[in-house]
Amino acid sequence: MLTAFARAFKTPDLRKKLLFTLGMIVIYRIGAHIPIPGVSYANVQVCMDQANANQGLLSLVNMFSGGALLQITIFALGIMPYITASIILQLLTVVIPRLEALKKEGQSGQAKITQYTRYLTVALAILQGTGLVATARSGALFQGCPVASEIVPDQSIFVTITMVLTMTAGTAVVMWLGELVTDRGIGNGMSILMFISIAAGFPGALWAIKEQGDLAGGWIEFGTVILVGLFMVGLVVFVEQAQRRIPVQYAKRMIGRRSYGGTSTYIPLKVNQAGVIPVIFASSLLYIPALIVQFSGNSQAGWAQWIRNNLEPTDAPVHIALYFLLIVFFAFFYVAISFNPEEVADNMKKYGGFIPGIRAGRPTAEYLSYVLNRITWPGSLYLGLIALVPTMALAGFGANQNFPFGGTSILIIVGVGLETVKQIESQLQQRNYEGFLR
């Protein structure tokens, strides 16, 4: 593998792409440490040093921003507005006929959808930036910190607007950096930036486990966490690579004097067809009740106390059960809207393709739906277990919900890593070099 890396850097055009990607990553990480105007950097650092600084309602967004959210930097919102906008547009494509028609137009239609995604990203950045500034001004961003209400000393309208515009501009720059990496670098730019944001929290989180440990100065706990993490990575790689291949045969056709078709191929249906989207949906949905309590101003009511006792703690039985059920539900929901068996069956019929033993048309669609439902069950259960097992197994080592080997982070890191390695592998093979996978 090290030899393959050396060969990749020896190839001029591939070396330029790798260096360009590394340069964009450096710029992204620098921006994640530059505070926005109007924020007291000293007070933020005081609150960040508190024991519960990273255990707020915004921990998921903070993880995706590489820790920039709680430090209120220019890249505080990170890539989350773009991710949210992309998911919303993907869901609306199924509902709105105009977007569905654009999706079928090919490259021109996809460019139009990308433009809509950018507009929606900016709108969501303004909305989320306003919410973050309001949370910071009220002192609710760092609960329990003595100087939490002094993070934004000047609470005038001009300073507030400046802060929101700065974070919105930062989100636009992050989106631009991601598109530059996609065009001129290696891999999907947005995914790589997300990968870097999550990986940036690894050293600090692992060292915190070592510092909180009691056995042999914390090294036994540290080693145990590393072993558990490696096991989880291996499990995720195994399942993410698993797929059910549906054989497809294309009939031979004579057009003039030339023969077309007569080939065999397959439809790859992944066991985890939904990816990490169900985990993100479930996590976001479980944050809504706690956010309602936080901004309602009626935290002493009975319903608010029930939410604080049963939904906010990640190790509460009600939270665990709801989290698992929501992941299973969203796995089926997302697969249903992202893969249309009837459309696949119609395209196969149009080009003379058929599944051996299955009639073309409606029987093919029913067969694909049957297979998809069968493999989605283990895929959804796998997602639920991956999201819950690390939290419960590592609770004794002081791990929290944004621990790097948790469900969301490990799924994203492994998925992006595999995809990036495959792209480098394909470019190496084009030049008759041995790739990473031998």
Give the tens place of pLDDT for each residue, 166-202: 999 999 999 999 999 988 888 888 888 888 888 887 8
Confidence band of 67 (pLDDT split at 50, 70, 90): confident
Query: What is the per-residue pLDDT across 332-355, written as a single tens digit (0 to 9) for each?
Result: 988 888 888 888 888 888 877 888
- In terms of CATH, what superfamily is 204-405? SecY subunit domain (1.10.3370.10)
- Distance (Å, whole) CA 345 – CA 366: 9
User: Strands 264-270 and 253-255, how do they pair?
Assistant: unpaired
Q: How far apart are CA 299 and CA 47, in angstroms?
A: 22
Looking at residue 165, its pLDDT comes to 93
**Residue pLDDT, tens place only, 216-243:** 667 787 787 788 778 888 888 888 888 8
- Calpha distance 212→378 (Å, rounded): 36
How confident is the model at residue 119, as a pLDDT?
A: 92
Q: Which residues contact 92 (CB under 8 A, 6 or more apart)?
A: 99
Domain boundaries, the chain: 1-200, 204-405
Between 180 and 90, name the one with better pLDDT.
Answer: 180
For the chain, the average pLDDT equals 79
What secondary structure letter does DSSP report for 216? G
3-state secondary structure of 267: strand
CATH of 1-200, one of 1.10.3370.10, 3.40.470.10, 3.20.20.70, 3.90.1150.10: 1.10.3370.10
Q: Is the pTM of this model over 0.85?
A: no
Q: Do domains 1-200 and 204-405 have the same CATH topology?
A: yes
Residues 6+ apart with CB under 8 A from 126: 164, 168
Ordered DSSP codes for 116-182: HHHHHHHHHHHHHHHHHHHHHHHT-SSTT-TTGGGSSS---HHHHHHHHHHHHHHHHHHHHHHHHHH
What pLDDT shows up at residue 173?
93
CB-based burial of residue 384 (10 Å sphere; 0-12 exposed, 13-18 middle, 19+ buried)? buried
